[in-house]
Structure 1
Amino acid sequence: MPAEILDRPNPPPGNSQLPDTVLDLEVNLDITSSLSNEKRNAIQKFRRMANYIAAAMIFLKDNILLTRDLKTEDIKPRLLGHWGTCPGLTLVYAHLNHLAEKENEKMIFVVGPGHGAPAILASLWIEGSLAKFSPKYSLDTNGLTNLIAGFSTPSGFPSHINAEVPGSIHEGGELGYALAVAFGAVMDKPELIVPVIVGDGECETGPTAAAWHAYKYIDPKESGAVLPIVHVNGFKISERTIYGCMDDKELDALFTGYGYQVRTVGHDLEKIDEDMAASLQWALGVIRSIQKTAREDKPTFKPRWPVIILRTPKGWGAPAKYKGEFIEGSFHSHQVPLPDVRTNPEGLKSLQTWLSSYKPGELFTEKGKPIDEILSIIPKDEGMRLGQVKEIHAGREIFVVPDWKQLAFERGSEESCMKVVGKYMDLAFQANPTGLRLFSPDELESNKLGAVFDNTSRNFQWDEYSFGNGGRVIEILSEHTCQGMIQGYTLTGRTALFPSYEAFIGIAQTMMVQYSKFVKMAKETNFRAPNASLNYLVTSTWTRQEHNGFSHQNPGFITAVLNLKAETARVYLPPDANCFLSTIAHCLGSKNYVNLMVGSKQPTAVWLSPEEAGIHCRAGAGVWRFCSTDEGLRPDVVLVGIGTEVTFEVIAAAALLRELAPELRVRVVNVTDLMILEAPGSHPHALSDDDFNFLFTEDRRIVINYHGYRRDIAGLVFGRKGIERVHIEGYREEGSTTTPFDMMLRNHVSRYHVAMEAVRSAAAVNERVALRTMELKSQLQSRVKETQRVIYATGADPQETYDVPKFT
């Protein structure tokens, strides 16, 4: 579809011109007898075994197969883990393995209730996926002992799903993001199905609430399918859940309104396996029908995808009561149902009865291996098992990084960094037609990134102008959903970009932190290949908020990234369009980092030629000789710019000082890679002490004009020698709906403030400057007051404010 029609207004009702529109696609299949007695028995034994192992993981360090009665010394000294969601998870896991084997379907299982790790780890052990990647978890008594005894200890798996767990693409602590991650994973993977179990507690989160709409961005022709399974067990950690208090009619109405087809499982627990098998077969039939229609090039508008509501008791199978409190079916089963079994004989007896109820002697061979009947429902092809699907572990697919220099500009011109990034993304989309996407919270045009639409479009399947066109751009006004999608997309081998307003990218901050921890742990496994970096592009910064005020002025996301593990975090503040082109190319081509790029959307001076920009960005910083005195030799003071607009102010200050105080010698330095400032050894990009001194001198004072919060720089340089000579200015939490230069003045990062500090610093080593210090400061303060007077009188910055300084 031509890009020019993408912004057409919606036609009035009844005026749609869509041909052969399919508004409602349902599949009704007779599948009540799809589960044979043989398979039902095998599934039930799989569940019993997985539930036994999961419960044992929480409690036992010895006697893991109950070969004798339990003793106090068999119990772990610290009882950690979450039981409440485990029985529902093992039910779904068993049936998904059976479905994968029966239908030869490739599936990734995303688990929202991430603290249900015992259930997932138990299932992974049974299917042989733990042993595949770690022989210590072999399918025998020794491997089972290592799993059970090591759980929630320093030598074993943690109590939540993380990167160490085969088959996972979602950090178990990220409550609320599983659904969005699942939708990101299926994009551009037409043969992939991602069942995702969403807990009813998780359904109370804002991220999940928005993510229910994510299927409206899934084109069934080009992408796979997500199968949401809403696990309603009624309780959170200590309270009823909202969904748990809704009856079937209410939940059906809710999800029908979202646009799903709904099927509910679990009212008859005696027949739950037949019900679940039939429901999964129904869901698969709906998915295949939708995909078949789309892939036969028949316009399919608003197909209704399936969702399953699974009702099971909280902590299903645990003791009904203990010490007068209800356990099964209450929040008391959420974590450790019997918390005092190590010290209370009654508790130990109750645990013995509970674990024995699974009859482990019927499930394991003499060597501790699962019996053949259980293994019969597991796919024979190891690559089809939920823990071994290659998309989870194979790393980044081939990605072509276009040559950025074909878009570069001549030095001395003026260009918008964001406009040129849009053009570069257009090249990247053309070079990577199925492996690159852009996820944005509806801010592309305002961020001047519109060139991304030169050869692609938005991908919004409920918009009659953009559905079915293979658009590479996802815009949904939810940072949470964008974050989840980009994670799922990246962790299954693809590359993506997340542009956002600077002030609101922080909405996804905790999720970004969780993701970085996932990447760190993934790098420490022996089975995960590197994936593309998670790339953030932050613009509409506090320095240029034309339409908004104080609420939209917040560079704090930089601080959050700086706090990440050094081998993961990268922060770039390119000073001009050429440097930004070099940086975006580098970031898109990189792997296993969290890359943050901060820049301006307004036209700014191009300070460096393409060749100079490439060298500058590789180095991370450099002396800008063209605006320094005698090319930076023997300076009295070093002026440093970090960020587009604040660097302009540094250069303007250098020009101003040439006019007012020609005797003052300055060296101008620009830093584009923030991490070079860290103390040696604390970051891979950190400058050595010698290199730091070559750049900033050994003894001259350093005046840093920084885009973000001043404490960022203070934290970075802490530990370097002579940091008392560093003066830092940055964002001071001062702002309003005002002019750009007034923002510079309010936050003391204007050229006048930089010049005043330069005078004060140079006076310590230059006698001629010292003699004129009061005179120069008075002149500069007068210019501040006069500029403020003009701004408040006219509502605009003085006309000459943004003239590019000239140096002769």
Structure 2
Amino acid sequence: MPTAAHPDATALTDEELRSLDAHWRAANYLAAGQIYLMANPLLTEALRPEHIKPRLLGHWGTSPGLNLVYTHLNRVIKARGLDALCVWGPGHGGPAVLAGSWLEGSYSATYPDVTRDAAGMARLFRQFSFPGGVPSHVAPETPGSIHEGGELGYSLAHAYGAAFDNPALLVTCVIGDGEAETGPLAASWHSNKFLDPVHDGAVLPILHLNGYKIANPAVLSRLPEPELDALLRGYGHDPLYVTGDDPDTVHRALAAAFDEALDTIALVQRSAREDGAPERVRRPLIVLRTPKGWTGPAEVDGVPVEGTWRAHQVPLATVRENPDHLRQLEQWLRSYRPDELFDADGRPVAEVLACVPEGSRRLGASPHANGGLLTRALPLPSLDDFAVPVDKPGTTLHEPTRVLGDFLARVMDDTRVRRDFRLVGPDETASNRLQAVIDSGGKAWQAGVLPVDEHLDRHGRVMEILSEHLCQGWLEGYLLTGRHGLFSCYEAFVHIVDSMVNQHIKWLKTARELPWRAPVPSLNYLLTSHVWRQDHNGFSHQDPGFVDHVLNKSPAVVRVYLPPDANTLVSVTDHVLRSRDYVNVVVAGKQPCFDWLTMDEARVHCARGAGIWDWAGTENGGEPDVVLACAGDVPTQEVLAAAQLVRRHLPGLAVRVVNVVDMTRLMPHEEHPHGMTDFEYDGLFTPDKPVIFAYHGYPWLVHRLAYRRAGHPHLHVRGYKESGTTTTPFDMVVRNDLDRYRLVMDVIDHVPGLAVRAAPVRQVMADARARHHAWIREHGTDLPEVAEWSWNA
């Protein structure tokens, strides 16, 4: 049967009850005031239309419940001396969280012009959802937040990410019943199978069931309670239920639920840390049922509002025009008795603040919600320790991600005590050749273990679950609270988190503009098992478009790297792990790849971002006739093979080979900090010579990045064009016209004067492509001249 939290289960005194209710009423008043008022904040005179905002924006429905949680969190934080963080999941709950932080003083500490008095209250009200003000949802501008209130579905994953390797932290997470219907949130309940009670903090989910979303009932709120209870217990929780619409009863019940939940958490942690208890036990969860829009207007224009979907946004919509609505708004606001809650100067009275903690224990002042304050630089090893020897370019092969795995394993080893580095991925770490990291860090796991299992570790820091959403959410919460990490994923399936990375990029862009937010470690993607070497999985696993998606976002935040070999991959990874406030996308293969650059050369080339490979070209100090450019490991190999064919068949042609590691270098300097000036770009690619560019992804991206360049009319890009299947590795590039033979044909087609003179050479290249098609259908393998190719120029 469901467990109810009864009012008599706590020793809440009448004085504590009055203080909690006063704080809650004050927060409700401030939340409603933010939605409606632009003047007369303390109602010192009768409300008039000019006191009301001309555009009423915001969401009232969720605010009373969030205010209730904020109030009761204050009590337990202060009483128990807790370090706590709250992730506010319901969309557009900004009025409540802003109200709580203003009452506790953390908002005024962050924004000194919004003082904790009548003048500051007026500013708080006016700025909300107002031009030049603050958003209606919990946002980077909100002190104490690590979560964008509009991104429904990710709150619980963020909460667990914040708790990992934070043993003294309590992370509460309010989950709206609409949010609870999303796929990412449904998967997030399984995060408790990864929470280590020894090294991690605690997560206390609070499922707030107020019954409705924007216009429809919420699914979980309509489940019979035994069915809901069975669901939550099946997820591994012990639910505590708080239900009602009488404030005194709900206050007592919620206080009891918090006390019981926190006592249970303390017992679980003590048993694991002091007694070594190995068993995973059920974790507490609070189910809070209160009416949507509680304490607001019960009816408007003869239809019910409180407790219905009509309370979701603005219950009284025509206050300026409708005298009855204006009168009803004033009655509503005065029902909180603001004259009892604020003194004549607009400051909260002592009773309102009696439950509020002090200093950094205030929810709006937690350093964990401004994680850059807690960030320590990673102890990264010397790159020389992992350098692949390269005596001559293109003669030896290594699996780049396997080499990187050794580098990351050292990072994992060197953070074994401080525990501030994690690797996440959807069950692909070993597949992506990063096995060494597992050997070092172990795979986090708190569920059952069988004798056949390998590397499962209750204290592990490699996190694998077949949900890209959870991997992303965990890592975001981990990074935003000041730690470091890497997300390894198959290139085609990282698109699952497109919306999540959108929100994270927006968060970082805004946070960078706030002087009080300290820079946090970057979100780093390693995309491997990529489009050109998914020949065995086929078309479904072939999609290089995540780079296009990311490069549409804020130039201040996004970076994209395509290292062509093992040494450049290690160098790039060293760079991105040192960076702050970026989203870095690194694309590299896991299959054997030629080694082109020594580690010293790789450092210089990666720092430059794009450069000429003199040893591969035939300029000999002169001006090139054609530029062969490449970005990505497979395109680089094909360009160098094409350059070798040009040497052999067109020995008088001056060829320049350019390799691009940092894709944002192609952008104009005015549009991206890494972008080249026109002078730099023309010096590298020339303003008037044909450029044959072999690119890892969709070719139109290169055109988009370089469209303003003088040489753009001479730019011809080859890349992936949605032609894939289960086939041989070389056939993948042939199918998409990225192969060496096609590139030589492009040189002949675009260098003036070659079309006639080199027609026999072009025919040889076309014949080679035809021979390839016949060969693979007979032998099932690539042509020997391709499979056995190396750089022998």
Query: TM-score normalized by structure 1?
Result: 0.94
What is the root-mean-square deviation of aligned Cα atoms in Å? 1.6
Tell me how far 1:30 sits from its aligned partner: 11
Match of 2:714, as an amino acid? R
List aligned pairs for 1:146-295, cutoff 5 A. 146-267=123-244, 269=246, 270-295=248-273
List aligned pairs for 1:676-715, cutoff 5 A. 676-715=665-704
Matched, 1:782 2:767: yes
Partner of residue 73, structure 1: 50
Partner of residue 429, structure 1: 412
Partner of residue 46, structure 1: 23
Q: Is the 8 A contact 1:632 1:668 kept in 2?
A: no
Q: Is the 8 A contact 2:682 2:711 kept in 1?
A: no
Partner of residue 340, structure 2: 362
Q: Is the 8 A contact 1:302 1:462 kept in 2?
A: yes
Q: Which secondary structure does the structure 1 equivalent of 2:710 belong to?
A: coil
Q: Which secondary structure does the structure 2 equivalent of 1:535 belong to?
A: strand
Match of 1:277, as an amino acid? A
Match of 1:187, as an amino acid? F
Partner of residue 402, structure 2: 419
Partner of residue 427, structure 2: 442
Match of 1:420, as an amino acid? V
Partner of residue 564, structure 1: 553
Matched, 1:536 2:514: no
Q: Is the 8 A contact 1:51 1:87 kept in 2?
A: yes
Q: Is the 8 A contact 2:245 2:291 kept in 1?
A: no
List aligned pairs for 1:27-106, cutoff 5 A. 32-106=9-83
Q: Is the 8 A contact 1:599 1:644 kept in 2?
A: yes
Partner of residue 20, structure 1: none
Tell me how far 1:136 sits from its aligned partner: 1.3
User: What CA distance in whole angstroms lies between the structure 2 residues aligned with 1:559 and 1:541?
Assistant: 15
Q: Which secondary structure does the structure 1 equivalent of 2:92 belong to?
A: helix
Q: Which secondary structure does the structure 2 equivalent of 1:713 belong to?
A: helix
Tell me how far 1:468 sits from its aligned partner: 5.6
Tell me how far 1:61 sits from its aligned partner: 0.8
Matched, 1:458 2:458: no
Partner of residue 400, structure 1: 379
Match of 1:788, as an amino acid? H
Aligned match for 1:585, one of 574, 594, 598:
574
User: What CA distance in whole angstroms lies between the structure 1 residues aligned with 2:738 and 2:756?
Assistant: 25
Q: Which secondary structure does the structure 1 equivalent of 2:540 belong to?
A: helix
Partner of residue 736, structure 1: 725
Deviations for 1:115-173, whole angstroms, at most 9, x for unmatched residues? 11001101110000100111111110011100001100123211011111100011112
Q: Which runs of 5+ in 1 are unaligned?
A: 1-25
List aligned pairs for 1:760-771, cutoff 5 A. 760-762=749-751, 764=752, 767=753, 769-771=754-756
User: What CA distance in whole angstroms lies between the structure 2 residues aligned with 1:468 and 1:93?
Assistant: 36
Q: Is the 8 A contact 1:218 1:461 kept in 2?
A: yes
Matched, 1:651 2:628: no
Matched, 1:507 2:496: yes
Q: Is the 8 A contact 1:31 1:281 kept in 2?
A: no
Partner of residue 783, structure 2: 798
Match of 2:385, as an amino acid? Q
List aligned pairs for 1:301-312, cutoff 5 A. 301-312=279-290
Tell me how far 1:770 sits from its aligned partner: 4.1
Q: Is the 8 A contact 1:651 1:805 kept in 2?
A: no
User: What CA distance in whole angstroms lies between the structure 2 residues aligned with 1:109 and 1:392?
Assistant: 9
List aligned pairs for 1:467-616, cutoff 5 A. 469-616=458-605
Partner of residue 352, structure 2: 374
Q: Which runs of 5+ in 2 are unaligned?
A: none
Q: Is the 8 A contact 2:298 2:306 kept in 1?
A: yes
The change in CA–CA distance for 1:446 and 1:555 in structure 2 (over 3 A counts) is: same
User: What CA distance in whole angstroms lies between the structure 2 residues aligned with 1:701 and 1:45?
Assistant: 74
List aligned pairs for 1:708-723, cutoff 5 A. 708-723=697-712
User: What CA distance in whole angstroms lies between the structure 1 residues aligned with 2:702 and 2:335?
Assistant: 60
Tell which deviates more after alignment, 28-37 or 306-315. Answer: 28-37
Query: TM-score normalized by structure 2?
Result: 0.96
User: What CA distance in whole angstroms lies between the structure 2 residues aligned with 1:645 and 1:632?
Assistant: 28
User: What CA distance in whole angstroms lies between the structure 2 residues aligned with 1:575 and 1:632?
Assistant: 25
User: What CA distance in whole angstroms lies between the structure 2 residues aligned with 1:34 and 1:449?
Assistant: 53
Q: Is the 8 A contact 1:27 1:282 kept in 2?
A: no
User: What CA distance in whole angstroms lies between the structure 1 residues aligned with 2:4 and 2:485?
Assistant: 34
User: What CA distance in whole angstroms lies between the structure 2 residues aligned with 1:27 and 1:323?
Assistant: 37
User: What CA distance in whole angstroms lies between the structure 2 residues aligned with 1:102 and 1:633?
Assistant: 77
Match of 2:84, as an amino acid? M
Deviations for 1:279-309, whole angstroms, at most 9, x for unmatched residues? 0011101110110011014232221111010
Match of 1:670, as an amino acid? N
The change in CA–CA distance for 1:332 and 1:30 in structure 2 (over 3 A counts) is: closer
Q: Is the 8 A contact 2:686 2:711 kept in 1?
A: no
Tell which deviates more after alignment, 708-717 or 624-633. Answer: 624-633
Deviations for 1:710-736, whole angstroms, at most 9, x for unmatched residues? 121111112222311111111101111
List aligned pairs for 1:3-18, cutoff 5 A. none
Tell which deviates more after alignment, 463-472 or 653-662. Answer: 463-472
Deviations for 1:571-617, whole angstroms, at most 9, x for unmatched residues? 00000000001001111111110000001000110001111111100
User: What CA distance in whole angstroms lies between the structure 2 residues aligned with 1:374 and 1:512?
Assistant: 39
Q: Is the 8 A contact 1:299 1:468 kept in 2?
A: no
Q: Which secondary structure does the structure 1 equivalent of 2:697 belong to?
A: strand
Q: Is the 8 A contact 1:576 1:605 kept in 2?
A: yes
Q: Which secondary structure does the structure 1 equivalent of 2:537 belong to?
A: coil
Tell me how far 1:806 sits from its aligned partner: 3.0
Partner of residue 5, structure 1: none
Tell which deviates more after alignment, 293-302 or 236-245. Answer: 293-302
Q: Percent identity at matched positions?
A: 43
Q: Is the 8 A contact 2:695 2:717 kept in 1?
A: yes
Aligned match for 2:95, one of 96, 112, 118:
118
Deviations for 1:292-329, whole angstroms, at most 9, x for unmatched residues? 01101423222111101000111111111112322111
User: What CA distance in whole angstroms lies between the structure 2 residues aligned with 1:157 and 1:54?
Assistant: 14
User: What CA distance in whole angstroms lies between the structure 2 residues aligned with 1:612 and 1:646?
Assistant: 19
Match of 1:97, as an amino acid? N
Match of 1:431, as an amino acid? D
Partner of residue 727, structure 1: 716
